[in-house]
Structure 1
Amino acid sequence: MSKKEYSKEMLLHMYEDMLRIRKFETKLTECFMKGMLAGNIHTCIGQEAAAVGASKALEKRDFIASTHRGHGHCIAKGAKTDKMMAELFGKVTGYCRGKGGSMHVADISLGILGANGIVGAGIPIATGSGLTSKIRNTDEVTLAFFGDSASNHGTFHESINMAAAWKLPVVYLCENNGYGVSVDINTVTNTDNIAVRAKAYDIPGKTVDGNDVLAVYEAVKEAVEYAREGNGPSIVECKTYRMRGHYEGDPAEYRSKEVTEEWKKKDPIDRFRTHLLTLGMEAEELDAIEEAMDKEIEAATEFATESPYPDASEVTLDVYASDNERSVIR
């Protein structure tokens, strides 16, 4: 963990958010197994430090583009768990009125440009957002979350090349959990680290321990400041591990149980709790935060289950642009 000094408030907020994400997704897995959710879910259990560390390095006015494994990104950026839960339950009180579901949560007011079911699709969206900020001469920074396998898509190279050439204010953050579905990234990539590809575009690239929330925060903070000052994009790679399968119900037999057990010992929440205790914080204080998160997630689940489904009359709402919106587009 970092030796830099941070306020107690900030450290506890990081701990709270990581617990909030973990509790949220743990409850989701329970609800899914009971058949309470439509469609499937992809959890980021084990990757919470990357989401929280990166988001804490951003300001409210900044933007993120997320992935199919995006619950943690959205919550870390400020999304409320009750509206998140309602969205995943397909209820009208959700962020997208129940129409987006797990892979399409969005809220522009929070800077969440949207999760995305297409691998790597957030990378060009973030690049476009960065171009918008540059054209408008504002100082927002956009951060694109993506997985290791997305780095082998053409949009990764095309987008970063454009951002580098035009010095766009974008941070490209790779959550390298080692697998693209069942494919070991080391069998399809000729480098140990994804961040070394930054050399091809003459931009900064850094690989950090993705299970160390402070290491992620410091690396992303540096990249955000670099971008905000007009220097262009960076690549930050977070080495991490998803503790569950690619999707809920995936037995993950393609992974070694021994390796998974080793990664469990590096659990980002357990590690951070230990760090906070070494700083002199009381176990009772940390336990109280966990209890509060349990209550919040139970309340969020109750809110979602009691909320109504969208009325059938809303089937085309938010699908087609209104006359006023079309006139603006023209």
Structure 2
Amino acid sequence: MTTDDHLADLHAMWRIRVLEEKILELRLAGDVVGSVHLSNGQEAVAVGVCGQLRKQDAVFATYRGHGWAMARGVPAFPILAEVLARTAGVNGGRGGSAHFSAPEYGFYGENSIVGAGAPIATGAALASTFDKSGRVVVTVFGDGAMNQGAVPEAMNFAAAMNLPVIFVCENNKYSELTPINDMVRNPDLSARATALGIPATRVDGNDAAEVAAATALAIQTARHGLGPTFIEAHTRRIVGHYIGDAQQYRPEGELEADLAAEPIVRLSHQLIASGVAADTVDAARRRAVTEIEEAARRALAASAADPATALEHLYA
């Protein structure tokens, strides 16, 4: 990767970070109703994966999906408008923070049920084999979802049917508030994929370039009809599981260590150490702030969704 590539990744991660910080600000101000789940610290996974996908490919995310939507190309304004329940939102204000989708961008939605996106994504991958579209499907979930039956069932089906789906596990070491070592005997989650006959790799989820390289190989595998791949991306969230999570379950010093190693800090230091001017590096942040502030201003000024239309767009 070139310096320009790394700077592009840094800007992409800053866009997600500033978006999440703005959503938190709006929630604390009372402009956003309900809980939100932020991805601060995990930006490199979304940026690394989505940067390798084609327009036709599909991403199925979790309730912690704002960053995945942005990395897939959904603009900041309709995301913020959606979270604010505005008619200008990507789903007219009906999806909110945890349920919106934008298929026109290859983002097939969040899912508030832990692990539930995996079988849906696997079905989309099956459809891809029927229509011979060449579409590759990505489903992302956390380490906690690996203990939900839907995920291994989807993985087994994908392996048996040789489907073009990539299973991306954002392993941030916590299932909500519970450490991974209290949940499983073997913390190597990729071993479960290997047991099903799925090629698996473990990557540094705080390194967008490393995530991108693993994703590129998985995409090549899928497009050549060689079936699914499992990517276990080791990362850390540097915020609570949800708004109001005081993170009292964290050992002393852990959060400070995570903050020092998070992907934006790491890549910024690497770029400066390689000779890139500090002002050039910081320009990535400034551009993101300008974009998100303008998007938030527009979203706040947009019309609120009318409760009288709540029953529209329903199947039954």
TM over 0.5: yes
Cα distance in 2, alignment partners of residues 252 and 275 from structure 1:
29
After superposition, give the CA deviation of every residue in 1:54-97 in whole Å (9 maximum; x if it has no partner).
11121121100000111111100001111100000000000110
Paired with 2:169 and 2:45, the residues of 1 have a C-alpha distance of 9
- 1:201 maps to 196
TM-score, normalized by length of structure 2? 0.97
- Rounded to whole Å, the distance in 1 between the matches of 2:133 and 2:246 is 46
Distance 2:124 2:67 in 1: 21
Task: Pick one of 162, 176, 181 that aligns with 1:181.
Answer: 176
3-state SS of 2:129 partner: helix
Where do 5+ consecutive residues of structure 2 fail to align? Answer: none
- 5 Å-filtered alignment, 1:240-279, equals 240-279=235-274
Equivalent of residue 210 in structure 2, options 215, 220, 233: 215
Query: 1:22 aligns to what?
Result: 17
Q: Which residue of 2 aligns with 1:154?
A: 149
1:282 CA displacement: 2.6
Identity %: 37
CA RMSD of superposed structures (Å): 1.3
- Find 2:161's aligned residue among 163, 166, 181: 166
1:89-238 superposed matches below 5 A: 89-238=84-233
Deviations 1:109-136 (CA, angstroms, capped at 9, x unpaired): 1111100110001101110110010011
1:167-223 Cα deviation digits (max 9, x unpaired):
000000000001111111111112121111122111111111111111111111111
Q: Name the SS of the counterpart of 1:265 in structure 2.
A: helix
User: Which of 13, 33, 36 is the equivalent residue of 1:38?
Assistant: 33
**CA distance in structure 2 between the partners assigned to 1:121 and 1:173 by the alignment:** 14
How far did residue 8 of structure 1 move? 4.1
Aligned partner letter, 2:283: A
Paired residues of 1:107 and 1:114 also in contact (CA < 8 A): yes
Q: Counterparts of 2:156 and 2:200 in 1: how far apart (Å)?
A: 14
Q: How many residues align?
A: 316
In structure 2, how many angstroms separate the alpha carbons of the residues matched to 1:170 and 1:124? Answer: 11
Give TM-score scaled by structure 1 length.
0.93
CA contact (8 A) 1:196 1:206 kept: no
SS of alignment partner, residue 105 of structure 1 = coil
**Segments of 4+ moved more than 4 angstroms:** none
Q: Which residue of 1 aligns with 2:50?
A: 55
Q: Which residue identity does 2:45 align to in structure 1?
A: A
1:86 maps to which residue? 81
Aligned position for 1:308: 303
Counterparts of 1:228 and 1:194, CA distance in 2? 25
Alignment check: 8 A CA contact 2:236 2:262 kept: no
Gaps of 5+ in 1: 1-5, 322-330
Counterpart Cα distance in 2 of 1:268 and 1:257: 21
* Partner Cα distance (2:272, 2:226) in 1: 38
Hey, what's the Cα distance between the residues in 2 that align with 1:66 and 1:29?
Answer: 20
- Secondary structure at the aligned position of 1:238 is classed as strand
The answer (yes or no) to whether the contact 2:180–2:187 under 8 Å persists in 1 is: no
Q: 2:278 aligns with which of 274, 283, 289?
A: 283
Distance in 1 (CA, whole Å) between partners of 2:209 and 2:273 is 15
Please list, as runs of the form range in 1=range in 2, the aligned pairs for 1:62-77 lying within 5 A after superposition.
62-77=57-72
Query: Could you tell me how far apart the structure 1 residues matched to 2:252 and 2:43 are?
Result: 21
